[in-house]
């Protein structure tokens, strides 16, 4: 069972993170075209790297409509402050480069878990490493979480289970 993410009521959710290579901001339904393009152009990469765990099959058979529903769900959860999905866009906002998800932890030793992915075309540009490093710094500087897990990155999926 997933824990409810508890943040102080007066905590102001960070709206964005900008680096010299990308901008993170809340993932919204209006991002569906760019998000769907990023996902569908990266199916092989996503199914190989399994950013959501070894038994997760996303985005297998994902339709545009299902993606729109997913984005609406993420947007609502963000508004409810129960989880936080951010899109990673290029600085011009013309291309989705990936996403990050901040969730309540399903593991008893952590209060928060963070998952992220980048589109397949950005792997050669080391964007995954850039995004991961930038997110880790942003989370530690701007968010109040005490015990943060990056399953599949700093903790193996076997240990996470």
Q: What is the CATH number of the domain that holds 99?
A: 3.40.630.30
Tell me which residue of 120, 124, 132 sits closest to 37, measured CA to CA.
Answer: 120
**14 occurs within a structural domain:** no
Mean pLDDT of 85-110: 96
For residues 52 and 87, the model is more confident at: 87
**54 occurs within a structural domain:** yes
Q: For residue 1, what pLDDT band results from cuts at 50, 70 and 90?
A: very low
Q: Quote the pLDDT of residue 148.
A: 96
**1 occurs within a structural domain:** no
Identify the domain containing residue 24 by its residue range: 20-160
What's the pLDDT tens digit per position in 66-75? 999 999 999 9
Q: Quote the pLDDT of residue 4.
A: 64
**11 occurs within a structural domain:** no
- Asked if pLDDT for residue 16 goes beyond 60, the answer is yes
**7 occurs within a structural domain:** no
CA-to-CA dists, residue 88 to 31, 55, 65, 92, 144, angstroms: 11, 24, 21, 11, 22
pTM equals: 0.93
How many structural domains comprise the chain?
Answer: 1
CA-to-CA dists, residue 12 to 16, 94, 128, angstroms: 12, 27, 27
**70 occurs within a structural domain:** yes
**61 occurs within a structural domain:** yes
State the burial class of residue 109 (Cβ atoms within 10 Å of its Cβ: 0-12, 13-18, 19+): exposed
Q: Quote the pLDDT of residue 3.
A: 58
**131 occurs within a structural domain:** yes
What's the pLDDT tens digit per position in 123-161? 889 999 999 999 999 999 999 999 999 999 999 988 888
Beta bridge partners of 88: 24, 98
Mean pLDDT of 22-29: 98
């Amino acid at each position: 069972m997933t824990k409810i993410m508890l943040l102080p009521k007066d905590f102001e959710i960070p709206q964005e993170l900008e680096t010299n290579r990308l901008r993170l901001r809340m993932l919204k339904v209006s991002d569906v075209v760019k998000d769907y393009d990023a996902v569908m152009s990266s199916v092989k990469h996503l199914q190989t790297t399994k950013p959501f765990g070894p038994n997760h099959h996303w985005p297998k058979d994902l339709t545009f409509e299902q993606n729109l529903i997913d984005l609406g769900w993420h947007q609502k959860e963000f508004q409810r402050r129960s989880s936080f999905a951010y899109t990673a866009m290029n600085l011009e906002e013309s291309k989705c480069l990936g996403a990050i998800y901040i969730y309540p932890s399903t593991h008893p030793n952590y209060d928060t878990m963070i998952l992220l992915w980048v589109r397949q075309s950005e792997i050669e540009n080391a964007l995954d490493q850039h995004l991961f490093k930038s997110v880790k710094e942003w989370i530690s500087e701007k968010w109040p979480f005490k015990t943060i897990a990056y399953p599949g990155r700093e903790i193996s999926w076997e240990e996470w289970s």
